[in-house]
Structure 1
C-alpha cells in the first residue's frame, strides 16, 4: 500500500480519538510530556498516525503538526514532524530541500528514488505537483546532469518493474550484458548499466547480482562507482 512503509505494525484496538485526546493533554499541559507523545506516535503505523492527525484537528480545530512545531524544538521537533507528516509529503519535502540552494544533495535523491516503490514515487510526484504546480522530473532535470541524471530521472518516473517473479535466464542475460558493458570493455557503457539497474525489479536484480558473480568472480558493486549502482545498493 502506498504510504504504508516501515517496520511499525498497526496497533490493535486502535482508537484515533483516544490517542488524539492523550496527545492534546500532553501538549497543552505545563510543558510537553514527551514520553506520552513518543509512546503514542512511535507505536502506531503511518496510516494510524494520519487518522490521529484527523481526530486531533476535529477535536481542537488545530493541526497536530502546528501544535508540535509550536511546543517542541530542535531534533525532537524534527523527529515528531517526520512521524506526523504523510510519507509522500515527507519524501517530497526532503527532495525539495535536497534540490534547494547551492549544490544538490545527490545522496538524498538517490536514497529516496532508489528505495521507494512505483506507487510511493508517484505519490511523491503528486504532492510536488500540488505544492509547486510544476512537474518534479522537469525541476530535477535542471539540477542534475550526465549519467546520474539519466539514472535518477528514470527512477523518478517510477518505471521500475514491481514484479516479485524472477526470470533466471533473463538474469543471466543481464549479468552478461553488464559484464560486457563494464569489466570486459575498455571504459564502461553506462547506458546499459542504467537501463538494467533502474528498470528491473529488486527481486530480479538480486538474481542478476548472483549471476554476475558467477560470470566475473566479483560482486557488481566493486566494479564501478557510479550513482546508478549506488541506487541499486540502496534499493536492495
Structure 2
C-alpha cells in the first residue's frame, strides 16, 4: 500500500496538522538563523572570495548555506552598500550553471524566488505546467499573495492575467482558483459537509458516465486542508477507492496531475515533496532545477520532515541519494542545505 492510500493516519496523526499548507513555523527546517551572525564579516569574506583572483567557491558555499534567508538579505544589502554592486549580479558573473542558480536562489527572498520560477515556467515557447502545479498546489494563501504582489512589482503585470494567457481548459480553471490565494483556512471541520462533498464527488466521477470536472475543481481548490482531509476519508467510505485513485482513473492530462497534487498536499506536504525529489533524480539525467527549487524553498520550512518521508517512502536517505546524483560545488552546497545524513 502506498503512503497515499493510507487514510486512517490522516485525521489523528500529529504531523498532519503541522504539514498543512499554512506553514509558518520554522521548527522543521534544516537551515536556521546563524547564532553569532556578523554581517560585516560575511560581506568581507564574500568580497574576498569574489574579487580575488579566481573565485573561492568554498567561502561562497560556507557563508550562503549556513545563514537563514533573512540573514542573507541583510548580507546582500550590506554588500551592495559596500561595493555599489548587487550580490546577485556578482554571483552570476563569477559562477555558472547549476551552482550559480543555487547561489542566486539562496540570496533571493522566498516570494521573489517563487515569482521567478512562475515567470520561468510561462515564458518562452510552451508552458512548464509541472512547475506551476507544484508551486500552486503546495503554497499557503499568504505565500501565493506575497508571490502575486512581487510579480506585479517585478513585471508591472498581474500574475493571474499572465497565467490566464498561458493555460487553458480545466487545468486553467483549477490553477486560476489556486492563484487567487483565497483557499478557506478555517481549522474547524464540518463532518456533515464532508459527507455531502464526498457524495458530490462520487456522483460527479465514479458513479456517472463521463466526469464532471467542475465539481472536483470547486471542492478541491476552495476547501480548507482539515475539511478536505475529512472529505477524503468519507469518499473512501462511499467509493471503496481513494479520491486520488478516482481522479487518476477518471481524468487525464494536466488537470489530473494538478488535482492529484492538491490531494497529496492535503494529505502530507512533506511526502509530496519527497516524491517530487525522488522523481527528479530518477530516469535519464537529474532535474537540477527541481532539486534546487525544493531544497532551497523548503530548507527553512519542513525539509527535516521531507527527509523523514523520503527515508520512509524510498528506503534510502535523501542525503545519500544526493551524494550519488550531484557533484562538485553544486552537490556540496545542496548537501549542506539538506543537513546531516539521517
TM-score under structure 2 length normalisation: 0.64
What are structure 2's unaligned runs of at least 5 residues? Answer: 1-21, 249-255, 270-342
Q: How far did residue 189 of structure 1 move?
A: 1.4
Give the 3 Å change call, closer, same or farther, for CA 167–32 of structure 1 in structure 2.
farther
Aligned equivalent of 1:174: 197
CA distances 1:32-90 after superposition (whole Å, capped 9, x unpaired): 22222112211222222111211211222211101101110111101111111111111
TM-score under structure 1 length normalisation: 0.90
Aligned equivalent of 2:244: 221
What are structure 1's unaligned runs of at least 5 residues? Answer: none
Aligned equivalent of 2:60: 37
Aligned equivalent of 2:84: 61
Whole-angstrom distance in 1 between the partners of 2:177 and 2:171: 10
Matched, 1:230 2:260: yes
Contact 1:168/1:207, CA 8 A, preserved across alignment = yes
Q: How many residues align?
A: 236
Aligned equivalent of 1:192: 215
Aligned equivalent of 2:74: 51
Give the 3 Å change call, closer, same or farther, for CA 203–27 of structure 1 in structure 2.
farther
Within 5 Å, which residues of 2 pair with 1:1-236? 7=29, 8-225=31-248, 226-233=256-263, 235=265, 236=269
* TM-align CA RMSD: 2.2
CA distances 1:127-186 after superposition (whole Å, capped 9, x unpaired): 221222221111211111111010000011111122344333333322222112111122
Whole-angstrom distance in 2 between the partners of 1:194 and 1:202: 15
Whole-angstrom distance in 1 between the partners of 2:126 and 2:119: 12
CA distances 1:104-139 after superposition (whole Å, capped 9, x unpaired): 111111111111111111111112212222211112
Contact 1:176/1:215, CA 8 A, preserved across alignment = yes
CA distances 1:175-222 after superposition (whole Å, capped 9, x unpaired): 222112111122111111111111112233233222222222212111
